[in-house]
Amino acid sequence: MSQQGLSQAHLRLLAKYDTPTICNVIEVFDVRPRNAGYLDSRIKACYPELPPLVGYAATATYRADAPPRKGDVYSSLDKQVAAFDELPGPPIVVFQDLDDPAVAASFGEVMCSTYKTFGAVGLITSGAARDIEQVGRMDFPAFSNGAICSHGYGHIEGVHIPIRVGGLTLLPGDLLHGDCNGVTTIPNDIAAAVADLCAEYVAAEDIVLDFLKLENPTPQGLALARDACAREIEKLQERVGR
């Protein structure tokens, strides 16, 4: 959690691009396998119409199947929002629901209102959502594995600890990018470079997309366009030292 966060300019730049593009650009750096680093299909956008979400994981664990040993449902919220200051940039609350399967919602209107007030820019949970309509009016991006109408005995158990969500282990301070396509991590050590490379990667892909808009495209022309696109991506790979 002590790493240097991205500048506001780089955060805004990342937010201009969809999450699949971010995944593609990360591949250019060859820092991890192509089938690693993103949440699986259990985690879906509650509001797919919202723009991309970018921020740092404020991790926590949640349980709703048994009452907390002391306090009430929201007794740990103050501790959780206080921990936002430990992050290098805008927080994204990320819950691992310890109940499997989830027995109740792990967030709703009160919690999301609290998080947004204290600077969080979104929420991700391996559990369920509720107050879908109310949270939707807040323009607060949220991701979950479904919806459940009750909060049960919901309570936060641990804050800023390693968690596992969507098949991926997340640490506090991990940089996340998510939209209607899903959520990926961005390795912090290449995050600024990823942001800077997005426009050039999109331009390379546009070589193929622009060809396909021609009045009479041919298979031979498609092959040439694809080769040209590949050459541009190879240049990007060479530049970043792959």
What are the structure tokens assigned to 139, written together? 């323009």
Residues in the chain: 242
Residue type, 202: V
Q: Please say whether the dihedral angle defined by the alpha carbons of residues 35, 172, 180 and 22, taken in this order, is positive or negative.
A: negative
pLDDT for position 73: 55
**Residue 55: pLDDT over 80:** yes
pLDDT for position 3: 66
Q: Which of 90, 106, 116, 112 is CA-nearest to residue 165? A: 106
What is the rounded distance in angstroms from the CA atom of residue 28 to the CA atom of residue 30?
6
Please give the span between the terminal C-alpha atoms of the chain, in angstroms, as a whole number. Answer: 28
Overall pTM surpassing 0.85 (yes/no): yes
- Please tell me what DSSP assigns to residue 38: B
Percentage of the chain modeled with pLDDT above 90: 92
Which pairing describes strands 91-97 and 105-107: parallel, antiparallel, or unpaired? unpaired
Helices (H), 75-163: 77-82, 109-117, 132-136
Mean pLDDT, residues 31-35 taken together: 97
What are the structure tokens assigned to 34, written together? 């192509």
Phi (first) and psi of residue 161, to 5 degrees: -130, 160
From the candidate CATH numbers 3.30.450.190, 3.50.30.40, 3.30.1490.20, 1.10.600.10, the one assigned to the domain spanning 32-186: 3.50.30.40
Neighbour count for residue 12 (Cβ, 10 Å): 12
Which pLDDT band holds residue 209 (cuts at 50, 70, 90)? very high
